Structure 1
C-alpha cells in the first residue's frame, strides 16, 4: 500500500504538544476517552494531531515522539481504519486474545466491539479514516448476505491479500485527495455520500470480518412503531426487571402482537433481544473490571438480571467464545 501520509500542514492542527495531560484531553475529545502513557523517556514525550474531511468521512493524522501506550475506550458511533506510514505499532486485543504488529504501509481496524491496547514505537506516524458505525454496519450486512445491518467486527490481520491491499489503497488515496485538495466531496452531499458508501463497502471486501458477526437492529431503523417503542425501553432500562407484559405496555399493543412484530422485524423474540442487550452490557462491565478488584462474575451477572449463573455462563460462552471468568481475568 503506497498511499502517501496526509500532509498535516493542509489539515486543521488540533494538537501539537509535549504535555501528556493536555494531549490526552484533546485527543479524548476528538476520539473517545483513553489511557495515554509514555512508556520510556517521558521527558521526550511529544504528540501532534490534525484532521480534515467531508460529510461522512474524517481523515486524521497523528504521531507520538516516544514509545507510547494508547488504550482507548471502545468506540461508540464510528470505526477507524488506521494506516501506519512511519514506525511500527503493536496491537493487543484482550477479548480476542490476539496480538499483531503493524508496519509501514499496513492497516488495522478499530471497531466498536473490542478494546485494543496500541503500543506506538517512537516517531510512529499514522493516518485514520473514520466511518460512521451505522454506515459500516449496513455495509457489513450486505457483505455477509443479510437483509439487515450486522455488527462490523474485524480481526487484527489487516487486509486479506495483496490484491485487497491495493484495492483499499485506491479508495484511501481518493479520500486523501478529496480532503487535501478541497475536492467536490466537501461541497457535494451526493458525492460525499457515494464516496463514504464506497469506502465502507471496500473495507468489508478487503479486511477480515470476524465470523459470527451478529445482526444488529436500531430502533430508528425498524419500521414497526411498536417494535421501536419496545426497543427504546429495553435500551433505557435493561438493568431493571422487565417482562413481556412491560414491553407490550410500552409498545402499546398486546404481548402476542409484539412477539409477532419482533419476529418479523428483528428475527427474535422481545425477551431474546433483551437478553442480548444485557449480555453485551455484562460483557462490557467484565472487560472494564479490575481482575484484582472486588467485583465478581456473579455480581455483574446479577446486575444485568441473570439470576441463574449456569445459564448466564452458557449464553456468554456461545456469544463470546469463552467463559465470563476468562474475560474478567484478562
Structure 2
C-alpha cells in the first residue's frame, strides 16, 4: 500500500468507537469473536473501522488510537493483515510471530487457529478475510486436483517481492474502486473479477505448501478442451471468467489450459478473452448514441477495470480511441 497513511474505505464506515465493548461488538459481527484489551491506561481507544464485504472477500480498514491486544477465537477463514501505519505484532496459533510493519511485512492467518495481535498506538491495517472454501477451491482449480491436506501459508508476507507488490496493486485498485461512487467495483462483472484477482493473486504471491505444484510445468490441455473454452468465451463474454473458472468448465487444470492456449494461439486464455471483449465494446460503441452511454460505462460492462490500459488496448486493436468510435 502507499507509504503515506490515509484513512481507507471512507465511503463504508462501520464503527467509530471510544468504548471497548462497542469496538468489540463491531469487529465480532463483521469478522470473528475475540477479546479486546486496552494496553495503556488513560489512553483513548479511538477505534475506526471501515469495511465492505464483496462475496468471498471482506476488506476492512482498522485503526486503533491506543495500544490494544486482540485475541481471537479459532478462525473459520483465511485472513491477511496489511499494515498501512505503525506496527502490529501478530501470531497465528503457536506458529512463528510476525512483526507486521508498513511497506515491509504483512501477516497471514489460517483457519483453525486463534490469532493474537498487539497493535501499537496509532497503528492501522487493511484486514482481509477470504472465504476458506473459495480460496481452497481456486487452489484446486490451479493445480487440477483435490487438496490432499489443508492449505498452509507462510505466516509472514514479504511486501518487497515482485509478487507481493503485484498483489498489493490489486488491493489498491480494489480499495480505490470500492470508494468511487459508480465505480467499476459496483458492477457485478467487475466485482467478480476483482474478487478473483485478490484470491488467485494471494495464492501466487504468498508461499504455501502447494506452491511447487502451482509453479510446476504442466502438460497442455487437449485441443478439444481449448476449443470448448473458446466457445464458452465467445458465447458468454460478459460472464466473470477467470482462468480457473474456464479450466473447471472444460475439466483441466489452470496451467494445462494456459499451456494449451499458448500452443494454439500464442497467448493466455485471459488475453484471448480480452480480444473478444474488445470486439464487443467496439460493436456496442458503434451502435450507441453518444448522449446515451459513456465509454467508461461500456468498458466496465465488459470487464475492463483500468480505463487507461483499456484505451491503450483499444487503440492498438482498432487504430482509434474508443471515444472516437462512439462519436462516429
TM-score tier by shorter-chain length is 0.5 to 0.7
Q: Report if the CA contact (8 A) 1:49-1:60 is conserved.
A: yes
What's the counterpart of residue 60 of structure 2?
Answer: 60
Q: Is the 8 A contact 2:81 2:108 kept in 1?
A: yes
Query: How far apart, in 2, do the equivalents of 1:118 and 1:22 lie?
Result: 19
Whole-angstrom CA distance in 2 between matches of 1:6 and 1:59 = 16
CA 1:160–1:51: 2 relative to 1, 3 Å: closer
Query: How far apart are residue 42 of structure 1 and its match?
Result: 5.0
Question: Which residue is equivalent to 1:148?
Answer: 146
1:35 is displaced (CA, Å) by: 1.0
In structure 1, C-alpha distance between the alignment counterparts of 2:9 and 2:210, rounded to whole Å: 40
Question: Which residue is 1:83 aligned to?
Answer: 82
Give the aligned partner of residue 228 of structure 1: none
Which is worse superposed, 6-15 or 113-122?
Answer: 6-15
- Going from structure 1 to structure 2, the CA distance change for 1:212 and 1:107 (only over 3 Å counts) comes to closer
Give distance in 2, aligned partners of 1:42 and 1:153: 40
CA RMSD of aligned residues (A): 2.6
Change (3 A) 1:161 1:147: farther
**Structure 2 CA distance for aligned equivalents of residues 173 and 12 of structure 1:** 16
Deviations 1:126-150 (A, max 9, x none): 112332222111123345x351256
Structure 2 partner of 1:102 = 100
Conserved 8 A contact 2:9-2:60: no
1:136 aligns with 2:135: yes
Matched residue count? 209
Give the conservation status (yes or no) of the 8 Å contact 2:9–2:175. Answer: no
Q: Could you say if the C-alpha distance between residues 178 and 30 of structure 1 is closer, same or farther in structure 2, counting changes exceeding 3 Å?
A: same
Q: What is the CA–CA distance in structure 2 between the aligned matches of 1:139 and 1:4, rounded to whole Å?
A: 33
Distance of 1:185 and 1:115 partners within structure 2: 32
Between the aligned partners of 2:5 and 2:127, the Cα distance in structure 1 is: 10
Secondary structure at the residue paired with 1:204? Answer: helix
Per-residue deviation, 1:33: 0.6
Aligned to 1:187: 187
Q: Match of 1:171?
A: 170
C-alpha distance in 2, partners of 1:38/1:4? Answer: 26
Deviation of the 1:117 alpha carbon: 0.5
Alpha-carbon distance change, 134 to 46 in structure 1, aligned in 2, over 3 angstroms? same
Conserved in 2, the CA contact under 8 Å of 1:46 and 1:66?
yes
How many Å separate the matches in 2 of 1:109 and 1:89? 13
Q: In 2, Cα distance between the equivalents of 1:209 and 1:22?
A: 36
Q: 1:3 to 1:136 in 2, by over 3 A?
A: farther
Which residue of 1 is the match for residue 35 of structure 2?
35
- C-alpha deviations, 1:93-130, integer Å up to 9, x for none? 3432x111111123222221322211100000111233
Q: How much does 1:212 deviate? A: 11
- How many angstroms does 1:208 deviate by? 2.1
* Structure 2 residue aligned with 1:70: 70
SS at match of 1:60: strand
| Aligned equivalents of 2:120, 2:12: Cα separation in 1 | 24
TM (norm. structure 2) is 0.57
For 2:9 and 2:145, how far apart are their aligned partners in 1?
Answer: 43
Structure 1 equivalent of residue 196 of structure 2:
197
Could you list the per-position Cα deviations for residues 176-235 of structure 1 after superposition, in whole angstroms to 9, with x for gaps in the alignment? 1221114223232x322222122111101111214699xxxxxxxxxxxxxxxxxxxxxx
Q: Secondary structure at the match of 2:145?
A: coil
1:29-85 C-alpha deviation (Å, 9 max, x unpaired): 111110111112254222111113544433211111111111111222x32222101
Deviation of 1:160 after TM superposition, in Å, equals 7.6
8 Å Cα contact 2:48-2:62 kept in structure 1: yes
Shift of 1:6: 6.7
Which residue of structure 1 lines up, in the alignment, with residue 316 of structure 2? none
